[in-house]
Amino acid sequence: MPGLHLHTQFYALFHYFNGIDTETTLHEMAEILSCTRRNARMVLNKMTTQGWIEWRPAPGRSKRSQLSFYQTDTHIQMKRVMHFFKSGKLPIALEELNQDSNKLTTLIEKQMGFSTQNGKQTLRLPYYRAVSCLNPANPLRTTEQELVFLLFNGLTKLNKHTNEVEGDLAHHWTQMSPTHWRFYLRPCVAFHDGHLLEAQDVIASLLPTRKNAYFSHIENIHSPSMHVVDFYLKHEDHSFPYVLASTQALIQSKHSKQKEEGPIGTGPYFIVIKNPHYLQLNAFDSYFGFRALTDTLEIWTFDHNIRGNLTPSLPVSPPKLDAFDPSRLETGQGALFNTQLSQYPPTSSLDEGAYYLLLNRNTGIAKDPSWAEYFAFKLGSKSLLSSLSHYDTASYRLAQAYGLQLGSASSHSIPCGNPSPPKRNIKLRLTHQTNHPLFPLLAKAIKEQLIHDGIEVEILVIPYEKMMNSKEPSDCDLWIGKIPFTRNKADLLLSWMMNFKLFPTAMPKNEFNAIKDTMRFKRENSEDQSDPKRCEYKIEQSLMQSRQVIPLFHVWIGPEKLKALEGGGSLY
């Protein structure tokens, strides 16, 4: 970005001539800029390079040159202010505007939504927290799950309308034997760093997934020839192409570990800038599929510190919750918002996943079934609503959950009777993830409910990735969490439970193994199952019957469609 001195010199020229194109001389320019003729010529050339002015010098001392202004002083200042804001330098941005926070807020509001400049489309989205790690191998929250599908591809993918599996990096596959699958890679697929996709990239990405129960049936991965990848399984899996469409199976470049900027994918977008305050993705011109129509996607972080320094009422969309879905970022069906921050489209949808309470029935206090039954009654959604009414939760639009997925219900979700705590004057540990505005309120409500029964609650707040990969069950008795939206709807519970360490940590080993057996049975007999969700419902029933999980709430996550997208703006 040009330095402050060059900006100051431009302001001096602009105000001297009132922004009007004029004829002048290099000598006059030097006097206005308070420098030598030689330096004036250098300054004018720099401004021309930036596209701020055009300087057409005339030969000879008596000849008058032409000065044309292509930008205004206000426009240049706003670009400078937004540069500082996106870099997280809020005090400097405010200093540029003489500490006028209202002016900065107004400027930010005008920047949001779709814009077109020089034939390039940009979509700017405000968000309430920084976007965290975008490595598909790690535990990802809902927003990050959607973003990684813009950055990476899998061997297969799910059709978002039919939920049927389709080719992605693999154009074709065949089942060579009950435990041997062969996938044929598309040739000349480019990664964002310019490398071409090879079978070794697939092997390097998917071999590590075998440590997760969801992929543990992969015995080995081998490439018999160029653009061919063979998978050898420990047991049959007729739905294996479906398994490879999950988030954790997205393919990274084998060179990713050597890159400081993080994993490298083949998706329709690539990362240009990523910091705690700003994320910029640009369309990848060498994408092997249809090139994205929206050229740039920007996510601006408005955390509580920034909102406190600006206008306290500055909203984000959707209000306060981690339900932003930057598309379902594809055709406007996600939780996007109007171009004005303060205006929200009326159409909303209920989130498919649920907020839940997970009990540590392995080594925690809920190992005693009487405690698990007590928690199911005392901390169910109906009981918590009375405590939550004391807090400002109206904007969250909570809906009582009777199951872990939208539309599912269990006769075991609400316990019978009114159980009392087996013991009083004890202390519990409750854990929830950082950077989620609803979880602290849920934790306070739980603490309030239990204190009446003589139970003290210590609240621990840790990063999401650390929570999902927890290996120390003795540290916690209860976890608050949320099932993130996933494109793999028929395997929502299995992929959520089997890919990370939280559930093996919290569940008795025999029960976790029983769910693994159910998953294996489903895979070996998938061709005979007319209802792909039947296994999911069976698992959900067992989780609630054992009081392993207590469903709490669904939330309304905002608009399903955005007029700006329907009117021609689209990412794809």
Which of these ranges, 262-276, 453-467, 527-541, has the smallest mean pLDDT?
527-541
Q: Look at residues 206, 226, 258 and tell me which one is the last residue of a structural domain.
A: 258
- The pTM of the full predicted model, rounded to 2 decimals, is 0.79
pLDDT of residue 391: 75
Measured CA to CA, the distance from residue 111 to residue 90 in angstroms comes to: 16
Measure the CA–CA gap between 190 and 193, rounded to whole angstroms: 8
Same domain, 415 and 539: yes
pLDDT average, residue stretch 182-186: 98
pLDDT for position 510: 94
* 11 domain residue, yes or no: yes
Q: Can you tell me whether residue 41 is helix, strand or coil? A: helix
Please tell me whether residues 403 and 543 are part of one structural domain.
Answer: yes
Report the percentage of the chain scoring pLDDT > 70. 81
Q: Which of 434, 396, 410, 425 is nearest to 558 (CA)?
A: 396
Does residue 137 belong to any structural domain of this protein?
Answer: no
Q: According to the model, what pLDDT value does residue 338 have?
A: 32
Q: What's the rounded mean pLDDT across residues 323-327?
A: 40
> Is the pLDDT confidence value at 565 over 50?
no
Query: How are strands ordered across the β-sheet holding 228-233?
Result: 170-177, 180-185, 228-233, 218-225
Q: Is residue 108 part of a domain?
A: no
- How does residue 251 score in pLDDT terms, banded at 50, 70 and 90? very high
Give residue-wise pLDDT tens across range 162-183.
888 999 999 999 999 999 999 9
Domain assignment present for residue 296? The answer is: no
Domain of 438, CATH number, reads 3.10.105.10
State which of 48, 71, 94 marks the end of a domain: 71
Helical spans, DSSP H, in 341-491:
369-378, 381-388, 438-451, 464-468
**Residue 307 banded pLDDT, cuts 50, 70, 90:** low
In this predicted structure, the answer to whether residue 447 has a pLDDT above a threshold of 90 is: yes
Secondary structure class of 495 (helix, strand, coil) = helix
| Helix (H) or strand (E) segment spanning residue 399 | strand 398-400
pLDDT number for residue 308: 59
The mean pLDDT value for 89-112 works out to 74
Backbone φ and ψ of 53, nearest 5°: -140, 175
Asked if pLDDT for residue 424 goes beyond 80, the answer is: yes
Q: Are residues 519 and 372 in the same domain?
A: yes
CA distance 48 to 42: 10
Same domain, 160 and 64: no
Q: Give domain status of residue 231, yes or no.
A: yes
548: domain range? 355-557
Q: Which among 50, 489, 126, 183 has a CA at the least distance from the CA of 303?
A: 126
Residues 253 and 365 occupy one common structural domain: no
The average pLDDT across 187-202 equals: 96
Ranked by mean pLDDT, the top range of 270-279, 299-308, 467-476 is: 270-279
**Average pLDDT, rounded, for the chain:** 82
Residues paired with residue 433 on neighbouring β-strands, in sequence order: 462
Residues 542 and 431 in one domain: yes
Mean pLDDT, residues 243-258 taken together = 89
Q: Are residues 189 and 57 in the same domain?
A: no
Does any domain span residue 30? yes
pLDDT per residue as tens digits for the range 357-414: 999 999 999 999 999 999 999 998 888 887 887 777 666 778 888 888 776 666 555 6
| CATH code of 199's domain | 3.90.76.10
Whole-number Cα distances in Å, 200 to 77, 134, 148, 245, 527: 49, 21, 21, 18, 31
CATH of residue 61: 1.10.10.10
Nearest to 289 by CA among 311, 265, 272, 319: 265
Distance separating alpha carbons of residues 24 and 66, to the nearest angstrom = 6
Positive/negative CA dihedral, 330, 335, 339, 341: negative
In a domain, residue 163? The reply is yes
- Contact predicate 180/230, CB 8 Å: yes
Same-domain pairing of 366 and 244: no
Q: In what helix (H) or strand (E) does residue 309 lie, and over which residues does it extend?
A: helix 304-309
Q: How far apart are CA 241 and CA 183, in angstroms?
A: 9
pLDDT at 189 over 90: yes
C-beta neighbour count of 452 within 10 angstroms: 10
Same domain, residue pair 417 and 522: yes
Top pLDDT among 305 and 332 is at 305
- Same domain, yes or no, for 412 and 551? yes
Q: Is the same domain home to 529 and 439?
A: yes
Average confidence (pLDDT) over 527-543: 74
Burial 265-285 (b: 16+ CB within 10 A, else e): bbbbbbbeebeebbbbbbbbe
Give the domain-ending residue among 199, 227, 258: 258
Residue 429 inside a domain? The answer is yes
Give the residue-averaged pLDDT of 210-214: 93
Lowest-pLDDT range of 87-101, 332-346, 522-536: 332-346
Question: Domain count of the chain?
Answer: 3
Residues 250 and 398 in one domain: no
Cis peptide before 318 (omega within 30 of 0): yes
